[in-house]
């Protein structure tokens, strides 16, 4: 009897391991809380000024909404992407767009970066290869036109690393400029 159950157990264990590998993943986001000895209105005004020296310097940076009443600034920018691992991949070269939300409060400023999404080079022969949303870990297993699953995972990891580095540089520049402005008499 136990020998008869072994094949069934083997098949069930393979199915369980396949489900673990094909999880949806968590989308990549960044957040920071910057402590300030300022009122909400002061933090908002200085955040708007700090934008120009940080996120405003990023490619494609645009202020989408400036809500003075709620102390909220929304914008978008992008990271220009070129693969460091796969050569001659004009189709994957492109941009990783992201959304920036800055919320001024009494005593602090909250910064959140989300919705990181890759769009390939549409001018490449055969069109661009879009990898879509950027995840914290491996991207979910899905077909990507024009490249293998292994190449897609390597490109995704490279995109995640480049985007993380660029976004964190902009966040650090924003926090540094905000603190500098707050300390000025």
Which residue ranges make up each domain of the chain?
24-183
C-alpha distances out from residue 155 to 50, 120, 146, Å: 33, 11, 13
What is the 8-class DSSP label of residue 139?
P
pTM of the predicted protein model:
0.81
Q: Which residues of the chain have pLDDT under 50?
A: 1, 5-23
Instruction: Output the pLDDT for position 92.
Output: 75
> What pLDDT is stored for residue 53 in this prediction?
95
CATH number of 24-183: 3.30.530.80
CA atoms within 13 A on the CB side of 110: 8
Specify the pLDDT at position 152.
86
Distance of CA 90 to the CA centre of its chain: 21
> Which tokens hold the place of 170?
């902009």
- Residue 2's alpha-carbon distances to 7, 18, 24, 89, in angstroms, are 10, 24, 36, 53
């Amino acid at each position: 009897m136990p020998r008869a159950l072994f094949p069934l157990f083997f098949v069930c264990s393979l199915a369980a391991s396949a489900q673990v590998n094909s999880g949806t993943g968590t989308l990549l986001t960044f957040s920071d809380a910057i402590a300030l000895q300022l009122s909400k209105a002061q933090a908002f005004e200085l955040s708007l000024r700090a934008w120009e020296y940080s996120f405003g310097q990023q490619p494609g940076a645009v202020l989408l909404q400036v809500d003075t009443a709620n102390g909220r600034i929304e914008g978008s920018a992008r990271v220009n992407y070129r693969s460091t691992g796969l050569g001659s991949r004009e189709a994957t070269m492109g941009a990783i767009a992201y959304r920036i939300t800055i919320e001024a409060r009494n005593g602090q400023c909250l910064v959140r970066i989300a919705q990181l999404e890759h769009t390939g080079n549409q001018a490449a022969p055969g069109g661009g290869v879009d990898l879509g949303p950027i995840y914290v870990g491996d991207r979910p297993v899905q077909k990507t036109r024009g490249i293998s699953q292994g190449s897609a995972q390597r490109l995704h990891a490279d995109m995640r690393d480049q985007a993380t580095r660029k976004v964190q540089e902009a966040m650090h520049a924003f926090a540094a400029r905000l603190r500098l402005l707050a300390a000025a008499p």
